[in-house]
Amino acid sequence: MRFQLATTAACLLSATCMLHADEPSLFVPQWLGAQYTFVDQHQDSLHSPYSGPLSLHANGDTERSHTFGAYFGVPLPAHLQFYLDVEMFKGEGVSGATGLGGLTNGDVIRAGSNNLPKTPYVARAFLRWTQALGDGTTHVERAQDQLPGDEADERVEVKLGKMSVTDDFDKNRYAGSTRTQFMNWALFNNTAWDFAADTRGYTDGLVLALVRKTWSLRYGIYRMPYEANGQRLVNALGQSQNQQVELTLQPQSDGWALRFLAYRNTARMGIYSDALAIAEATGQPPDIHADDAPGRHKYGFGINGELPLADHGDTGLFMRAGWNDGHTESFVFTEVDRTMTAGFQLSGVHWSRPTDHVSVAVAVNGLSGDHRDYLAAGGNGFVLGDGALNYGREQILEAYYSFTPFAHFTLSPDLQLVHNPGYNRDRGPARFVGLRAHIDI
């Protein structure tokens, strides 16, 4: 078996092994797809009476980002599947992808930090095992991390390996992909959910799922980074881990859905109030890293809903709400402790463009009292640090139009307006105008 897996992994990297079949054969690797996404985004100048090392650039900025991806899979014996995804990122985000809780280009997550090389990297490499619990099946098409064939409607599912936590949790029909839907971080994920990831957005973990026709329950445990927004992951789950459980209620497969999420992190995190106490005692600016220690905890909750209204679900509403305790530092995703979002998608069928749609959404982000006091005293996180803070909730509006001139290609003009960027009433408002091009094959 070890030899077969090694042979399969080597074969995945060979173009001669790639094929497209409706029903996969054992040990025959398949090319499942590829994508390219380009984002050209401009940030206008903004009111900025003072700034810190992580502020939005006062004079504005224009940057371009590129992501490339190729996705492979192979069926194995005993209900197993193996998936391998390779990606590459080039470019930058406006203002260095800092200065906001709800950053404006979700693809810059893949940039990483600490001068990571802009060369191809393995994004996912995991095993998936399923066991049917009934006779009902649904045919699924070839897609990223999805082999074509008949999938059991009711099943037990296990995933093990390198992946993104968001592959399995907090999914949403109308707001779940930065490459084809909303680009703002506050709209394609619950920003108060500080899920495990390295600086590119991936980690190693285990997912257990029980899927029924009208509901599902998922549990995941993953490795956390050694430091905030770091690339190095802690090996021992007993010392550091991210755990979450999510219950999804969906009485009909094409109907409304509600997802209830709870999570708990254990990691080498700092405590905001302790960092402030150290600063007061030493007369130095507060530094959350000066207080970090292993075994610290953070927990939080989220709710996620979608409501199809018409046009076979292409027109509908969505919402998210999230909260975390805000006691320990924001560690992985972004600096948000409370969030509320809502939005609407309208199908282009109403103007004879059935493959197009227009979407509008709003997000309101907030910080815990300890977190805002830390920033007001001149402390820095990993995306926020104006040097001071006149606190106000960060308010975000995003609107985009998804235009499909031909199959597999979309163009999306995008507008984002942010009041109180970085939760600071003294800054902004900020405006971002962008154009996204996405190709998938």
**pTM score, whole prediction:** 0.91
Q: Which two three-digit tokens encode residue 420?
A: 């109180």
Residue 18's pLDDT is what?
38
DSSP, collapsed to helix, strand or coil, labels residue 242 as strand
Q: Which two three-digit tokens encode residue 13?
A: 């990297």
Residue 23's pLDDT is what?
56
Residue 330's pLDDT is what?
95
Where helices occur in 64-120 by DSSP H, the ranges are none
Q: Which two three-digit tokens encode residue 394?
A: 């960060």
Name the CATH superfamily, with its identifier, for domain 30-440: Carbohydrate-selective porin OprB (2.40.160.180)
DSSP, collapsed to helix, strand or coil, labels residue 127 as strand
Residue 392's pLDDT is what?
97
Q: Which two three-digit tokens encode residue 50?
A: 């003072």
Residues sharing a CB contact under 8 Å with residue 351, sequence separation 6 or more, in sequence order: none
Angle (nearest 5°) at CA 133 between 127 and 139: 70
**How many other CB atoms are there within 10 angstroms of residue 299's CB atom?**
16
Give the distance, in angstroms, between the CA of residue 64 and the centroid of all CA atoms in the same chain: 19
Taking the CA of residue 362 as centre, how many other CA atoms within 13 Å lie in the half-sphere pointing to its CB?
5
DSSP, collapsed to helix, strand or coil, labels residue 418 as strand
Give the distance, in angstroms, between the CA of residue 233 and the centroid of all CA atoms in the same chain: 18
Calpha distance 200→97 (Å, rounded): 13
Instruction: Write down the mean pLDDT value for the chain.
Output: 92
Report residues of the chain scoring pLDDT below 70. 1-24, 112-114
Taking alpha carbons only, the member of 436, 174, 141, 140 closest to residue 314 is 174
Taking alpha carbons only, the member of 192, 187, 201 closest to residue 416 is 187
- pLDDT single digits (tens) 222-250: 999 999 888 999 998 988 999 999 999 99
Taking alpha carbons only, the member of 398, 304, 309 closest to residue 346 is 309
Calpha distance 233→203 (Å, rounded): 8
DSSP, collapsed to helix, strand or coil, labels residue 301 as strand
Region for 253 from its dihedrals, namely left if φ exceeds 0, alpha if ψ lies in -120 to 50, beta otherwise = alpha
Q: Which two three-digit tokens encode residue 69?
A: 């991806």
User: Residue 407: exposed, middle, or buried by beta-carbon count in 10 A (0-12, 13-18, 19+)?
Assistant: exposed
